[in-house]
Amino acid sequence: MKSEPGSNVPNILPDGVVSLSDHEHHARMVLDDAVWAYFNGGAADEITLRANTQAWQTIELLPRVMRPLAGGHTRMNLLGREWAHPILVAPMAYQRLAHPHAEQATALAAAALGAGLVLSTQASTLLEDVARTVLPEADRGPLWFQLYLLPDRGFMQALVQRAEAAGFEALVLTVDAPVQGARDRERRAGFRRPADITAVNLAGRVAPTPLSLLPGQSKLFNDLMTHAPTWDDVAWLRSITRLPVLLKGVVHPDDARQALTCGAAGLIVSNHGGRTLDTMPATATLLPRVLQAVAGDAPVLVDGGIRRGTDVLKAMALGASAVLVGRPVLHGLANAGATGVAHVLRLLRDELEIAMALTGCRTLADAPGALLTPG
C-alpha cells in the first residue's frame, strides 16, 4: 500500500540508489498509483514515450584515446552567459504531488548544482518564491519561466511582468499542446488532481466562456481550438517583454524556420515527453532535422528520454546547445526532496564528465561529429 503523495516527507536518499533508473524504481514505491500514472504515463499506446529513451540508447559512441584531457570542463555559453554544464530542469506541473516542498526543493537543488531551471506556468509554488530561492546562489544556472498562451491577454501580460520583476531571464513558450493528449494510463488509474494542489500562478485568470455549439459541431474544433495560439501570438508575446523567448515543441523544419522569422531566441526540440501525440518520432531523431533548418542562427535545445550522462554527450555531439531533464527530477523529488533532485543532477553531471573523458573530449566543443559511429 503506497502512501499519499508527500505524507512521509522523504528527505533522505534511499540506500542503493546509484542511477536515474534506481531513482525511478524507488519513486514507484513512494508515489500513489494515480500520481505515478500522471507523472510517468504517456499518450495512447506510449510508443513515443518509449522511443524517446530507446533512441538515445541506440546512438553509439566512438571514443578517441590518448588525448590530452587535463583541465577539461563541461562549461558552455548560451544566451549571453556561461553555464557550468548543459543540463536544465524541464518545466513540470504540480510538483507538490511528488513532495510537499515541491518546486522550492527542485529550485534549491538546481541552484546548488549549477543546473538551469525552467519553472512551469502550472507550478504549485509561486514564481516569486522560486526566484528568491534560485537567484542568490552565486553559481546557479539560468532561471527561465515557461508559458502557455492563454486567451486572456491582460492576464498573460501581467504574468509576464511578474516573471520579469521576479528576475527570470527568459521565457519558454510551449507550442505543441493546444489540447491534451489521450493519456490512457492516467485515465485508467483514475488520476484526479487534489483540490489543494493548484496552479497558483494562474490564480485570477478569466477562462473563456464556452461557445454554444450547433448540432454536429465539434467541442474541440468549434470551441476550444478557437482560442488556440498562432504565430501572431508569438509576435504579440515578443512585443510585451524584454526577455528572450524560446519556443518549446518545435519539431518540423518549416516551423523551425518560421520561429526564427518570428524572432525566437532559441528552440527546444520536444515531443512533450510523449504525453501529447503518440507515434511522433523520438527527439533524438528529430533534433538533427531542426538543427539543419536553423543552420546555426539560434541555439537548439532538446528534451525527452535523457537518462544518462552519455545521452547528454550524444545530444551535444549531434549539435544541441543543452538538454532538459524531466521525469528523473520528479523521481528524485519524490524519493528525497531537494536531496533527491540534487542527486539526480549530480549523477548526470558526473556521468557526462566520465563519458567525455572516455571518449577523448576535453570540452564540449570536442563532442560534435567524431563521437558518433558512422551510420
Residue with cell 518509449: 50
- The torsion defined by the Cα of 156, 125, 333 and 112, in degrees rounded to 10, comes to 90
Single-letter amino acid, residue 118: V
Q: 352 Cβ partners below 8 Å, 6+ apart?
A: 74, 85, 87, 309, 312, 313
CB atoms within 10 A of CB 190: 9
Question: What burial class does residue 50 get, using C-beta atoms within 10 Å of its C-beta: 0-12 exposed, 13-18 middle, 19+ buried?
Answer: middle
d(CA 172, CA 18): 32
d(CA 337, CA 331): 9
d(CA 137, CA 193): 33
Say which of 26, 272, 331, 343 is annotated catalytic. Answer: 272
Question: What burial class does residue 23 get, using C-beta atoms within 10 Å of its C-beta: 0-12 exposed, 13-18 middle, 19+ buried?
Answer: buried
Residues in the chain: 375
Q: Give Cα 131 to chain centroid, integer Å.
A: 17
Please say if 23 is a catalytic residue: no
d(CA 168, CA 127): 9
| Measured CA distances, 353 to 19, 81, 247, 350, 365 (Å) | 15, 21, 29, 5, 13
Q: 323 Cβ partners below 8 Å, 6+ apart?
A: 86, 87, 88, 301, 302, 303, 306, 311, 312, 315, 316
> Which sequence positions are flagged as catalytic?
272
